[in-house]
Amino acid sequence: MTVELPAFNDPTLLERALTHTSYVNEHPEEQAADNERLEFLGDAVLDFIAGAWLFEQFPEYDEGRLTSVRAALVRVSTLAKFARQVGLPERLRLGKGEIDTGGRERANILGDAFEALLGALYLDQGIEAVRDFIVPLLAQATPEIVQAKLDRDAKSHLQEWSQGVLGVTPRYKLVATEGPDHAKVFTVEVRLGDRVAGVGRGSSKQMAEQLAARDALERASELVPRAASNQNEKRDDAPPPLMTMPTA
């Protein structure tokens, strides 16, 4: 599925959304602005639209399932897929060093640029324009996530991978509790060995642990080299596909 980029009333907003910090650093003479502030705004807009859309589409889901599906929709790998579908890689403004090291296909750069694009579109045309643009992408991705249960039981998946690849068992730690009794938000860290591998925030400790495990799985490629070097081993193992995780 390919979705066309919307036409912008203010093209400079689109240009800024596609401008990575590496480009700004290598071209100080342009006095260009990077996309980090737009990314912040787009992240908030995406969370709201995805949450509202899921709420309408899945009336049978409770809060925990809605949260886990939304987390799967807005995770880095999904946003990078969306970015490719709308043709962002070739339009990104990156520094030469970033281009030479494969920046146009780096998931975190693509995901950040996609969120920045949403922030720019919100400023240019408002929330309805963002909704019209993103909902077709959400509608395509959600059935794949739900049918394969890619949003479920990230803790089991992380444990299976970390024990098999790194030889360690994940440990979860509650690091913060915020908000009134009726609306508490829990922050949990998951550690693999002596390293914080992921962080999650949710309305229950169980939900926060699942989101922390999901965060660690998204960063698995970063975790292997460091963990391996600590054990004086060289490993190139990647986590198994999420659809292989236990579904019971």
Spans of all domains in the chain? 11-147, 154-244
Query: Whole-angstrom Cα distance, residue 167 to residue 185?
Result: 31
Helical residues (DSSP H) of the chain, grouped into ranges:
11-17, 21-26, 36-57, 63-73, 76-85, 96-100, 107-125, 127-147, 154-161, 205-218, 220-230
pLDDT tens digit string along 149-196? 666 678 888 888 888 888 899 999 999 999 888 778 899 999 999 999
Is 115 annotated in the active site? Answer: yes
Catalytic residue among 115, 151, 189, 218: 115
**Alpha-carbon span 113 to 119, nearest angstrom:** 10
Give the full edge-to-edge strand order of the sheet including 195-202.
171-178, 185-192, 195-202
Determine the CATH number of domain 154-244: 3.30.160.20
pLDDT at 235: 40
- Residue 163 burial (CB count, 10 A): 13
Q: What is the pLDDT of residues 90-143, one digit of tens each?
A: 999 999 989 998 889 888 899 999 999 999 999 999 999 999 999 999 999 999
Tell me, yes or no, if 43 is annotated catalytic: yes
Query: Which residue of the set 34, 43, 124, 151 is catalytic?
Result: 43
Q: How confident is the model at residue 146 (pLDDT cuts 50, 70, 90)?
A: confident
Question: In the CATH scheme, what is the homologous superfamily, with its name and number, of domain 11-147?
Answer: Ribonuclease III domain (1.10.1520.10)
Which residue matches tokens 């236990």?
246
